Structure 1
Amino acid sequence: MKVKVPKQERTSYVLTLLIMIVCCVIVLLLPVCGSVPLTGWLQSPGHPRGYDPDSSLTWKECAPTGHKITLTLIHLDLEESFECADDSLKVFVDNELHFTLCGRKSMKELQSSINPFLHSSSGGCLSVSFLADYSNPERHTGFRGFYAIQDVDECEDPDNECTQLCNNYIGGYRCFCRPGYILDPDKHTCQVSCNEDRTGSTEGVLMSPGRPEPYPENSLCSYTLAVEEGLQFELTFTGVFDVEMKENGQCIDSLTIKPLSGDVKTFCGRDLPPLVLTRSQHVEIIFRTDHKGANRGFSLSYKVKEMNCVGPVTPTSSLIPQHSNSEYRTGSRVKVRCDKGHVLQSKDSAEVEYESTCQKNGKWSPVIPCEPVDCGNPELPELVELSEKDPPTTYLKQIRFKCKSQYYQLDKTGNFTCNADGNWVSESGQQLTEDLPKCEPVCGMNSEVSSGGRVFGGKRAELGQIPWQILHKLNPRGGASLISDYWALTAAHVVDGYENENMNWLGGIIDARDKNAVIMETEKIIIHPNYMRVGKGNDPNNFDNDIALIKMSARVTLGPNIRPVCLPNKKDELVAEGTISGFGRMEEKRISRYLLHGLVEIYSLDECDQGGLPVTHNMFCAGGDHIDSCQGDSGGPLFSPVLGHGSPDKPYRLAGIVSWGPAGCGNKSFKGYYTKVQNYLDWIKETMEKN
């Protein structure tokens, strides 16, 4: 049976003939590529008569390095279906799916929308997968295409990295340079050949390549100058200096002067560099440029002059004799003297000068550095630390002391400076050993809580509200006030007769039964020498000088609930009111388990009913309506300002010590009497210093 070929297919055959002619030309031009076919046809099974159901085809070809493979579809007639689910032609470029095709497409459609994208990368691959399902309602002729392996023109790629010229050949490309340039070993970069060795030349001129025209790109020029020992080069820039620089001053291109020893200098921009005295018999001048620019470069003249030495010999020193221009001829001898606060870096650190000679090479010999005097880390008193860990300790450096705990403060300024003699000195000029700062407890501060009430039948204190109150719980029951981290003040009659015993005091509590109380054991009890002691022929009712100091056997660890109260100032007027506190009797002879406090008014002795007992100027009285101290409160504090009104500028101060009173506590007619602490400040200070 004779098959009639449709008109569309006849057109395809004509195009096929043309492609075959082109193919023959390509084959003649391409070298033999091993076993890889250079051209070929690709078509569906049974084409052009039509493909059978369940037919399939897979194909893949890869191009050699420097080549690409292309596919040109000239015919496409597959069963049409949604998303090509029935019959399909899938085309992969470099292992990525580019097209899934089905239905009919004309040659014009294939050429415009499909074929331009069917080419691999250099050395890449193309692959095809054709798959038909189990049935076709009508005959479809399938697909046909032509593939070819072609040379890649790498010179058309802007990323081929040839800085000047590029020559493409079948399977690769080659970079080459314009006349006057050489190809760098990287085989891509063209550089100017501009290295010069002028060893032995004592004068001359050096210029950037192409001067006075703009210098070429990608230049790396090295000019070597070298003469005999004892001479040095003097470089003078002339004419226009124009080396490319960014607006922020950073060099794009650069001119670097690199002596054998000494400072390396780099220049760029348009400012003419100053005269350069190299101080070296050997100099390398390096000129670098990038791949673009139109700058005019540099010109410099060089000559030699006798080498000399320049002072100082070493930093932080001076020379004797001192020349005005600080230059010394070969053979010159000088004395090197370290500046103030510096000593020689040698075994004998007390030496501050030595002799040095200018050598022929422009160097001094010997060179012994002058180093700053080191005051070292000071020995720190107890509770004191440096505000900075491992601070510098050399001449003119400063250190600052601080207290380790927030409950202490320095008794004087903590700033010290290392002087030229290697001593730490204060701002007043005193040495650290003579003016050593100490950490003293911060006094008169508490954890503020709103207050009110009274002792006798009064209101309970909050924890930390009266942190200086301490208690002797056993017989004799009484109170005392911490005035430092070692010392407390109480009434003499509370500790009278117990001077040689170890008394335990409780602190940091508001509950006498608190098992977490801070226990303080006495080391010394010192009663005022003028106190009228009971049982020694003296009047037992005389409470003049009723004051005693207690020294604890160990430093009290201060905290928010146990802190000292401040002593009063000598010249302060007696306050009008204050707060009393204690663990004494409340009412009906019942001892309080809790720390109580109350506000009292302070009166002059003329306003107090003495009740027939002797009263002296060492006392004052205080009280109010049913507000009083009572038995068991003895030795405790009367302090001001009133509880709740203290501040860092107005700390709480101990105005009085609970001493004595009438038989009935809280009597409206009789007030309680308190030892006036202000009268004993000198005795307190002297006793604490001696003990």
Structure 2
Amino acid sequence: MAAANEGSQRLRWLSVLVCLVALSAHACHATAIPLSGMYGVLVTPGYPAPYEDDRDLQWLITVPEGFRVRLYISDFDLEPGTMNCDHDYLMVLSGNDTLGKFCGRAGTRDAPGDRSLTSQSREMEVRFHADYSNVHRRTGFRAHYVAEDIDECEERDICNHFCHNYLGGYYCSCEFGYSLHEDNTSCEVHCSGNILEATSGVITSPGYPIAYPRRSDCDWLIRAEAGYVISLTFEDFDVEDHPDVKCPYDALSIKQDDERLGPFCGRQKADWPEEVKADKRIEISFVSDASGANRGFRARYSTAGKPCVALDVPANGVVSVSNTTMGHNATFSCERGFRLVGPAQRTCLASGQWSDSNPVCEVVTCESLVDINNGQVTVDDETLEWGTEAVYYCDPLYELRGSDTRVCQVDGEWSGEEPSCVAICGESRTPPRNPPRRRIVGGREARKNSWPWAARISIRAPNFGIDGIQCGGSLISETWVLTAAHCVTARRTAIFGRVVPADSVSVTLGIHEISDTKGEVREVSEIVRAPSYDAASFDADVALLRLAQPVALTNRISPICVPDADTFRVGSDYSLYEDEEFLEEAVAIGWGETEPGSTSDFLKEVYLPVIDQSTCVESFEGRAQEGYVITDNMVCAGASEGGRDTCFGDSGGPLMLKDRVLERYHAFGLISWGEDRCAQEGDYGVYAKVGNFGTWIRQITQM
């Protein structure tokens, strides 16, 4: 369209020039008629009347940008002339080109006929000339013009990718990933500033393998870490070249570290860049001009590290390494029984050296063991190297809980858990007297020190209605004594049921006679009653006393065993007798009354049949109003014929059964309550069933 404007200007200047040189005198005197509409009509003056002689007319038709002029002549009647129409004529021009010169009548050789005339630009000039004379009168001509859209896309190859025509113009667009150049016809791709830091990859010209775009200006920078080598290889190469000049159109250039290579162009193997290697970086530049249709190039790059020096293998060790180039690791390990001292891995550095220093393999040893409480440990190898055995022993009156042997393992840890020495329960260094071969009436004095867990408990709490009360109890560990809860419960009406102060209670251990001064006396620091204890009914009549100071275990002082709920089942393997007749007899001990108002100076023992639960319940049936209620936490014992029983002052003492398998005594029951008169025919003593509280006792005492 700019070209059309330039043509119009040239036409006007040409007309002036013609006048100046008098080559066409009638053109200089022509009447100029400008036309600028989208369509219009041109006629000779007076049409259809005959036109006058000696006339010159000039129509200058101009249509909008993007259009051209198409002229249609519908009627034509001019004076015939020679071959050059040198008399009267109609001349149509477009720029410097003459589209036609016509004369004569329609249907004759020199007339325009039915054809139309089209300008090359947005301007057309139409000239009419009549000479000085006409033999016959002629009507002239009638013509009209229209502005016709120019399809630039169809007629010219002006857009690089896509051309879109519209009325009065056109525009260009580009494929996805490209943008329109500032010339509005070329498509360019943004392919500069590419930084590649991956260890490998592929580089191609834009659009490869389709022809790369014109006016491309691309660059790639391949960078590698220190210690790596970059390698660049071309797999395909087709860049526009010239037979005589080195890469004047499109070119690829390479900068290898600080050295420049290229430019490169062409398509023959000899034209390709050879393999390029660099220590730090490779720069690739590619430019193309405004023409050409070559497919471009494809190149592959990779990086590889420089190898490090050989590694020393540590004695008694192994080194594993699959790649000795930069960034790769060497892993160290030791043979069985040895421990790695130093780094488990070393890394190949850019300098070609390995990081850190070589580790060493030392024989595995375990940490020293300390003696356990109430025991000791011995080892068979003082170096404590792996394989060393440690054997644990316990002091007298203690037994080992856990394995007695631990081994130093290859991981430097001792096998198993550390054992512990716990007090042996339910065993006496002085055997009790043999159970009577027949039933005996009343109790009998126990053999001295045969019941080393027997405890005498004194309570002096006058404000709580208890002053000088004596109860029995059983040592169950170095710091805990088991007794009946009612022994340490207030009896005064106003505070009935409250626990007495701990400092009002003392415990004596290791005595046989009450007057024995060699016993161990301990104050009590804490009293813990069973959570479900009922002071009114004596249900759950169990309490624990924490000694202010632990006692040392001796032949005279050692604990009794605490059963669980299923430890004893009447009629099972647990009994004091082998005879079937006595399978359910237990033994109770205490310093309580042997007759009304008289207590025993010596510890006494009495063997009592354990009564089955249904008989126990029936014996107290109908006496609930008197306060006699048997619960699941109670058990009865005693002789139906009377004469054998526990009594006042024995409360809290143990009713014992022996495990015939382990030969150990357990506190099966605690002396709790009974009839006011002891050892009467048909009456039974009631005992707290300790097994029901075994779990609770262990939780409190941490046994």
Give the TM-score band, short-chain normalised: 0.3 to 0.5
TM-score by length of 2: 0.44
TM-score by length of 1: 0.44
